[in-house]
Structure 1
Amino acid sequence: MVTARSPRYTESTQGRLRRLNLAVSLPPLVLAAAVLLVIDTHAWWHVIILAPGLAAGLVAFERWTANDLARAVLPGLIVTGAVWPLGVLLTGSPNAYWGFCAVGSLAMREVRRHRGLAVAGLFSYVAVVGAARLLVERDDVREVLATYVLIPTALTVLVTVMTIVGERFYDLIRELEQTREREAELAVVRERVRFASDLHDIQGHTLHVVKLKIALAQKLLLRDAGRAEKELRETYALVSDTIAQTKELAYAQRRLNLSAEIENAKNLFEAAGIRVRLTREAEVDTRAGELLGQVLRETTTNILRHSQATQVQITLSEAGITIVNDGVAGNSPPELRGLSALRQRVSGDGGELTVEQHEGRFRTAATFPSAGAGATAAGLGHDR
């Protein structure tokens, strides 16, 4: 029996990818933060201003890889948003934007509405604050604009784009795992439908035959006790066989034999007073035998239960197997209900199940693709 994957499967897959990202990326980021701190520190108190911004950026990245960024976004933006102007105006640190760039780019994943405005605001803040350096350093405007405005803004744009692309990668992984979960759930549903169809084949067929045999035994009880006893023994054997088949079905051990099902169908039709004509021109491909046996069993039950047939023609040929009966009631073909699941399985195996009603006769045919040189076709019974 197929079982669905737990939602934990999706979480664990994303978790492994994020932990891998953390293990690979965090050491270089820590090293880069340490180098920037050394480069921008010209007095001991500069560390007090710059270090919190770098630390906030590293914490935001760690929380992002843990898929728990929401709680760290606002504190991180406040800290790094304050460090950048202090670094520009007080310490003269052109790299003080680093923490705000990291936190801001990661924060874009939390923005659900007006993301474009949020991204524009992020870039504008970096550029405007960098341009504020002109308030304390006016000697070389070009150098100030390049060092504090152009480079920080360009790198912030690059990091933000890369972060959005990386987050899209995680979204694709998440969608892929969700698709796999849905496929597993559909597989469970299909397996349950198949099991229900097989159980219907066994129980529905047996119960109806038991009903017919008991009714026959009641009629024979007074005038032919020996025949009645024989019918009851056959009924007992049929019930025992059905119990065994149900157990086999439960343990996925059930196999049907088409030849045995044809012989069983003949016996049941003859017991019900229906003439049977069997023509064997060739054998059906063995790969389709079990499925055809299931359909034949269901068909036999339907004919006995619903039709007023007096004759059934079963033809087994290289092209397939055809069952035709003359017990049509009504002008339009009945809907396939019990055989609907089997029809889907025939289609799933590359075959086709068709139903025809013409001149008081009912015919159903199913064809299968060729396993060898010729085409193997199967004609199946009807459902009412």
Structure 2
Amino acid sequence: MSEQTEATPRDLRRLNVSVVTAALSATGALLVITDAEVWWHALLLAIGLATALFTVNRSATDERLTVLVPGLVVTAVVWAVGILVAETLSASFGPAIVGTLFVQRLPRHRRAATVLLIGLGVVVLAAMPLTLGLSPFELLTHSVATACVAITGSVLTSLVQVMSGLVDELERSRRREADLAVSRERVRFAGDLHDIQGHTLHVVKLKVALARKLLGRDQGRQDRERADRELGEVYELVGDTISRTKELAHAQRRLNLSAELENAGNLFEAAGIRVSVERRNEVDPRVGEILGQVLRETTTNILRHAQAERVRITLTERGISIINDGARTGPVTELRGLAALRARVIDLGGELVVERSDEDFLTEATFPAPGASLSDDSDTVSDITARSWRDAR
């Protein structure tokens, strides 16, 4: 069994928030230690820092502004008390963190919100001479120190948004690559279809035109024989084209299960999806071709219809099972490609199951061993996949 170990976008977002939180915690703790003169100063600064850190982590999973408003109110109160009563300049660290998140989450009027928050800060600083009796020089130094602390908190917090944007762009890029891979497969299919039918239809057109011309004459023996020969060739050409088109439609041309496994792995990797493959037995060559078709169609459906992060593929001697997470809620989408394959699997004596359980989606094709029925298998491929899927979680 091979595992793709690339971090998913969700993992990267969590890592981003964890790193920024650690930096904010270290910086905030240092400010508390150096700026607090008595125990209640330290308690006040610790409340502001804890509120800011809680808001950062909470907002990472909930993008509503209502999550930020309580944090902004608490840190603003801590700042006002810290500046005007305790004269702790580092009290601006908390509101700078939450205020930065608040401004970044606003879809509009970001500039107005920034000006409003800065204006409130200026008002609080302007009140310092009245409450603390500071000289102009002391007011200037206090203002500069407070601004430096606030800028530090704002810059560190902005890293969350910057990295989140990069992760979103990476995810979009991977999905574009997956869509491009699917598009390339469609172009290849269209090219094969053109190769099969384009030349044949052109020849058929010429031969039918010639037969009509021959039949339009006095129809001597030679003309009738030649017209009959041309129409016979047209009949054979059309029959051959129908057979070759069926082969192409059912993906029988050059289809190889191992190649399909490699192709599916590359597509999932390009989309940022972790995939694991488990082979319990060597696949029976008599069913390998149709199992490859099931795998190809399921891969396309996962890329187009799911928001998957993990896929597990299990192969047994006469079966394949593909299970993925990220299934969309609501009624199961009609997958016409799999519906057509189900009919072929049933014609060959097998069974194709498509079902959803919560956010997991299962596609399973199973063929009985020669002389056995499907119910004879005590340990089906879906049972194996389900156990492996639960163990992986």
TM-score (norm 1): 0.50
- Is the alpha carbon distance of 1:135 and 1:171 closer, same or farther for their aligned partners in structure 2, counting shifts above 3 Å? same
Please say if 1:171 is aligned against 2:170: no
Summarize deviations over 1:72-105 as a string: whole Å, max 9, x none.
2211111111111111233332222211111112
2:234 matched residue in structure 1: 235
1:156 matched residue in structure 2: 150
Question: Does the CA-based 8 Å contact 2:17-2:160 persist in structure 1?
Answer: no
Match of 1:123 among 118, 123, 134: 118
- 1:319-358 aligned within 5 A: none
- 1:26-41 aligned within 5 A: 26-41=21-36
2:67 matched residue in structure 1: 72
Question: Does the CA-based 8 Å contact 2:99-2:117 persist in structure 1?
Answer: yes
Please say if 1:107 is aligned against 2:102: yes
Paired residue secondary structure (1:96): helix
Please say if 1:203 is aligned against 2:210: no
Please say if 1:23 is aligned against 2:22: no
Aligned equivalents of 1:180, 1:222: Cα separation in 2 = 68
**Which shows bigger deviation, 103-112 or 154-163?**
154-163
Aligned equivalents of 1:155, 1:41: Cα separation in 2 = 15
Displacement after TM superposition at 1:249 (Å): 4.0
Summarize deviations over 1:132-157 as a string: whole Å, max 9, x none.
3323322655345423x211113323
Paired residue secondary structure (1:142): helix
Match for 2:108: what amino acid?
R
Displacement after TM superposition at 1:59 (Å): 1.6
Question: Does the CA-based 8 Å contact 2:12-2:167 persist in structure 1?
Answer: no
Aligned equivalents of 2:23, 2:166: Cα separation in 1 = 26
Question: Does the CA-based 8 Å contact 1:63-1:72 persist in structure 2?
Answer: yes
Question: Does the CA-based 8 Å contact 2:51-2:74 persist in structure 1?
Answer: yes
- Is the alpha carbon distance of 1:159 and 1:54 closer, same or farther for their aligned partners in structure 2, counting shifts above 3 Å? closer
Question: Does the CA-based 8 Å contact 2:103-2:114 persist in structure 1?
Answer: yes
Displacement after TM superposition at 1:33 (Å): 3.3
Aligned equivalents of 2:203, 2:37: Cα separation in 1 = 98
* Rg larger in structure: 1
- Is the alpha carbon distance of 1:134 and 1:171 closer, same or farther for their aligned partners in structure 2, counting shifts above 3 Å? same
Displacement after TM superposition at 1:42 (Å): 5.2
**Which shows bigger deviation, 208-217 or 55-64?**
208-217
1:321 matched residue in structure 2: none
TM-score (norm 2): 0.49
- Is the alpha carbon distance of 1:164 and 1:252 closer, same or farther for their aligned partners in structure 2, counting shifts above 3 Å? farther
Match for 1:245: what amino acid?
R
2:244 matched residue in structure 1: 245
- Is the alpha carbon distance of 1:70 and 1:80 closer, same or farther for their aligned partners in structure 2, counting shifts above 3 Å? same
- Is the alpha carbon distance of 1:253 and 1:67 closer, same or farther for their aligned partners in structure 2, counting shifts above 3 Å? farther
- Is the alpha carbon distance of 1:101 and 1:252 closer, same or farther for their aligned partners in structure 2, counting shifts above 3 Å? farther
- Is the alpha carbon distance of 1:51 and 1:115 closer, same or farther for their aligned partners in structure 2, counting shifts above 3 Å? same
Match for 1:104: what amino acid?
G
2:262 matched residue in structure 1: none
- Is the alpha carbon distance of 1:129 and 1:54 closer, same or farther for their aligned partners in structure 2, counting shifts above 3 Å? same
Structure 1 runs not aligned, ≥5 long? 1-8, 255-384
Question: Does the CA-based 8 Å contact 1:60-1:73 persist in structure 2?
Answer: yes
Paired residue secondary structure (1:95): helix
1:85 matched residue in structure 2: 80
Aligned equivalents of 2:62, 2:232: Cα separation in 1 = 68
- Is the alpha carbon distance of 1:97 and 1:252 closer, same or farther for their aligned partners in structure 2, counting shifts above 3 Å? farther
Aligned length: 243
- Is the alpha carbon distance of 1:179 and 1:190 closer, same or farther for their aligned partners in structure 2, counting shifts above 3 Å? same
Aligned equivalents of 1:235, 1:110: Cα separation in 2 = 68
Q: Percent identity?
A: 42
Match for 1:234: what amino acid?
E
Summarize deviations over 1:359-381 as a string: whole Å, max 9, x none.
xxxxxxxxxxxxxxxxxxxxxxx
Match for 1:84: what amino acid?
W
Question: Does the CA-based 8 Å contact 1:21-1:65 persist in structure 2?
Answer: no
Match for 2:148: what amino acid?
A
Aligned equivalents of 1:23, 1:169: Cα separation in 2 = 12
Question: Does the CA-based 8 Å contact 1:54-1:99 persist in structure 2?
Answer: yes
Match for 2:63: what amino acid?
D
Paired residue secondary structure (1:97): helix
Match for 2:84: what amino acid?
L
Displacement after TM superposition at 1:43 (Å): 5.2
Summarize deviations over 1:180-219 as a string: whole Å, max 9, x none.
5446545644653553354245335434544665673994
